[in-house]
Structures are given as C-alpha cells and as structure tokens.
Amino acid sequence: MRKTGISVLFLFIVVLVSAQEKMDLEMMNKIRSEGLNNSKVMDIAFYLTDVSGPRLTKSPGYDRAANWAISELKKWGLENAMLEPWGEFGKSWDLQKSYVAMSAPYYRPLIAFPKTWTKGTNGLQNVEVMLITAKDSVELEQYRGKLKGKILIMNRTDTLKQSFKADASRYTDEELQKMAEAKPQQPRQPSGDTAEARRRREQFQRLQGPAQLLNKLKEIADKEGAVAVLSMSPRGHEGTLFVQGGGAYSPTSPDNFLDIMIAFEDYMSICRLLRAGVPVKIEADVKTAINAKDTKGYNVIAEIKGTDPSLKDEIVMLGGHLDSWQGATGATDNAAGCSVMMEAIRILKTLGVKPRRTIRIALWNGEEQGLLGSRGYVKNHFADPATMELKPEHARFSSYFNIDNGTGKIRGIYLQGNEKVKDIFAQWLQPFNDLGAKTITISNTGGTDHQSFDAVGLPGFQFIQDPIEYDTRTHHTNMDSYDHLIADDMKQIATIVAAFVYNAAQRDEKLPRKELPKPREGNQRGF
C-alpha cells in the first residue's frame, strides 16, 4: 500500500511537471522592459494614421501605409517583406475633394462624408434639396420625372435618443470573472431555431425596408440626373458619422450614385425645415477617383526566419487588418492592431531573438469587406474551408494571434473553443498578471481575421481588450483618429503579444488543435 501510494504521488508530480510550460523568464523580463520602457508603438501608429491617411482597401492611402510598413520591416531586418496578392478584389476609390454646406435659408457647414465607391458631383453644385416622403416603392413612383438637378433626402421624424453611459469604459472584475466562467458553446442549431437567430433576423428585416427604399430612390435618381442623396448615420450622435460603403466595387459594376452621409443633427434640421415649407439649398463639390485597372488585393507579409533545423519550417503568425474606412484615419480600427503587431516584431528583433520556428507578421487587406485578405491568404496557403483539402503548410502551422478590438489593453485571451490551450495560455499570461492580463475564456469574439484560420482547423486567437470607446464612438466613424489611441495600453498590448509569439515559436510542440472542421460547401465565407 505504501509503495503504491508513493507511485501515485510520483505520477502526480510527473504529470504536474509535464504540464508546466518551458518559459524563458529572463527573456520575458527583457521583452517587458523593451516594450514598456523603449516603445516605438505610437511612432508606428502616427505613420499608419496621420501620415498615410484613411486606408480604404485598394486606395492610395492603403498603398502608402503598406509600402511604409514594408520599408520599416525591412529596416528592422525581417526577410521576405512584400505585398503578397491574396486574390481578386475590385476597384480602387479615392476621395479627392469634399465640400458640403447648406447655402439656404442661411449658410451653415455640414458634417458630411461621401460613402465609398460613389461618384462625385462633377464640380461645384448649388441646388435645392427635395424631401422624399414615400414609405414604399409604390409611393416612390410619384417622384419620377422630378429629380433632375436635386439633392434628395428621405423624411425622418424620429428623435435623438441620448445615452447616459460613458463612451469609454474598462472591463470590471465582475465582467472578466463572468467571461472566465463561460461554458463551452454548444454546436449551432439550424438557422432560426434560437432566440438569438430570431432576434438577428428581425433586426435585419427592420433595416431591410428603409435600405431597399433608399437603393430604389438612388436608382431612379441616377437615371434622372439628380446630384446626390443624403443619408443619416445609424449611430449618429453629437456629430459622429458612422460611414462605410456606398455600393458595389466589382470591376464590372457601374459607378455608384453619390450618397453623402451627414450628421444626425444636420439631417434632422434639414427635414424639419423642408416639412415646414422652408426651401433648403446645399452647395456640394465632391470629387472621387475610381480605378479598375489593377483589381487584385494585397496583404503585407514579412518574417523572422526560424533557426531550429527541425522546426524552422513551422510558422507562428501574428497580425491585424491594415485597411480602414474613409471617415477618419482608422486609428482604433485597426491601425492600433497593426501598430502593436509591428512593435511586437520590433521588440523581438531589437532583443536579437533567434526563434526556433519562423515568425511571420501579416497586415491584412480587405477585412472590412468580409475578412477578404486573411481568407484569401488561408485559402492560398493552408486550405479552402469549402472543401477542406489540406495543403502542406497546414501541417506546419502552429498558431495565429490577432488584435482588432481598438486601443484597449489586453485583459486576457479568447480560446475560440479550444480548451487544450487553456493551461498553456494561463502560464504565458502569468508574467503580465500585474498589468491586468489574466482572464481566459472559452468563448470567442467574432468578426475579425482569426476566424479565417479557425475555419480550417488552425489555432487562431483574438485577445480580450478593454472596450474603451470602440463601439460607442470610434468604430467606423469620423472620430477614429490618432487622438483616440491610449499609449500605455498600446505598449502593454505589444509587450504581451511579443511574449506570446516568442513562447509559441520556442515550444517543443506546436499549439494543440481542435478537431478538424468538416467541409462547408456552399458557404464561401467559410464560417
């Protein structure tokens, strides 16, 4: 009995030791010191935002940022730094001039931004605004033949709903604890079988009516020679514009009718004036450049080559999407993610690390149009989720780490349903617990590039970040500028990411994987 007890105890100790990660604590301290005390992350963010400008997919701004990033990565000593094509995208679009103001009944500048992939005004126009009161396509017919030379606005009578919550917030201990206690998600039920699915369907249907009516109006207006249509930001408050796309960008699609997003307050003021019979005129001079010559999309790729003879062909990746929308310079979405990933690479190169595995950084293109850059990359290198025919690189892949939830510091990591990595990540976070990063949740956050990897059974992860102003103020709005970045949070993110990437590159084994997903024929998104 005593001998058996000793054997059980010995086995327990062996299992416990084997579960411990081999961590170079001296290197963790060096990464921490370099990342927190000698950071260049805000300099990187400056060049990706203020210097490069908005980075719409296939725009000159994207090209400026991508080429600057390649230049910097080469300067730091990375290899194979390049623009790698991921597939066909479509037209490029560039906003070259935008002036919009109310000229009658008095002069007032308007907070306005044209939607992407729309045409311009063909010079300065000073025209009447027509109020469209149609509630459906049948009522819209009464306006045929009356739209030429007009700027159009759909009538709205709703009122501003004030928010009494702070724009910026951090996760509370209670919220983080709830994340940590989350249970594994059950397999998805067929569409429509859950309350959440019904809620989303009902929300989609509510939005579809007005959107379809607006599209029908634009179709008629374009044929009749109207100047533009005015739209209102769905998240509009206090001058914030939630502004995105204005139509198709495929090479064969016609150029889209000019759709100008204006602030809620300006939109409602114009509606009230027109309903009261007060004529309104708007001056507008919008110039856009649309080009369909090169229709390919390009990701920024670079790497630190691995040094271990048996592991150097295996890959650890980190990344974020470089593209943005046009309303600002895309600071929190997602120059923040790209800046911290570049800074993580800079930290590792500055410390002279010789990783066992190859470390590859990717700054993605076309994320805002549906994770296009990362999906194309995964399909080209690893597997197509529609068929799940695996390419050789699939077996050599270790892990991918992503940042795309704004400027907020890391509070932990989403496991993407992969329970096998929980204890590993818990140990990797320990040296940074005092920086507020300790929460591990089985849950997933969606809508960003780690999903492209997960869709083909590869370990892809997004970190938990404090929300700050992301969903309330900056995400896809004209407020998403450099000034909304928090330097200390960015330093913390880059430091932790550098440590995670280093640990993944040094492990004896690749990170464990979930069960390989089945082919998803008919679902080209792959998730």
Q: CB within 8 A of 223, min separation 6: which ones? A: none
Nearest to 357 by CA among 309, 300, 390: 309
User: Is 0.85 surpassed by the pTM of this model?
Assistant: yes
Indicate the fold that domain 94-289 takes in CATH: Glucose Oxidase; domain 1 (3.50.30)
pLDDT of residue 281: 98
β-strand pairing of 296-304 with 315-321: unpaired
Q: Is 282 helix (H, G, I), strand (E, B) or coil?
A: strand
CA distance 207 to 210: 6
- Mutual angle of helices 487-506 and 336-350, in 10-degree steps: 60
CA distance 18 to 185: 29
Q: Are the C-beta atoms of residues 400 and 357 closer than 8 Å to each other? A: no
CA distance 5 to 3: 5
pLDDT of residue 1: 42
pLDDT of residue 95: 97
Taking residue 245's Cβ as centre, other Cβ atoms within 10 Å add up to: 18
Domain assignments of the chain as residue spans, ordered by start: 21-89+295-506, 94-289
pLDDT of residue 202: 54
Q: How far is CA 193 from CA 320, 365, 417, 521, in A?
A: 34, 35, 22, 21
Tokens of 442: 């089985």
User: DSSP letter at 245?
Assistant: B
CA distance 161 to 168: 18
pLDDT of residue 523: 52
CA distance 308 to 190: 46
Chain centroid to CA 369: 10
Q: Is 56 helix (H, G, I), strand (E, B) or coil?
A: coil
Q: What DSSP letter does each residue of 381-419 carry, written as one string?
A: HTB-TTT--B-HHHHTEEEEEE--S-SPPEEEEE-TT-G
Q: Is 325 helix (H, G, I), strand (E, B) or coil?
A: coil
Nearest to 447 by CA among 315, 296, 337: 337
Task: Give, for all 527 residues of the chain, the pLDDT tens digit.
Answer: 433 343 333 333 333 434 689 999 999 999 999 999 999 999 999 999 999 999 999 999 999 999 999 999 999 999 999 999 999 999 999 999 999 999 999 999 999 999 999 999 999 999 999 999 999 999 999 999 999 999 999 999 888 888 888 889 999 999 999 999 999 876 544 334 444 445 545 555 555 568 899 999 999 999 999 999 999 876 656 789 999 999 999 999 999 999 999 999 999 999 999 999 999 999 999 999 999 989 999 999 999 999 999 999 999 999 999 999 999 999 999 999 999 999 999 999 999 999 999 999 999 999 999 999 999 999 999 999 999 999 999 999 999 999 999 999 999 999 999 999 999 999 999 999 999 999 999 998 889 999 999 999 999 999 999 999 998 899 999 999 999 999 999 999 999 999 999 999 999 999 999 999 999 865 544 44
Q: How far is CA 295 from CA 89, 244, 251, in A?
A: 5, 20, 7
Q: What DSSP letter does each residue of 477-504 carry, written as one string?
A: BTT-SGGG--HHHHHHHHHHHHHHHHHH
- The domain at 21-89+295-506 falls in which architecture? 3-Layer(aba) Sandwich (3.40)
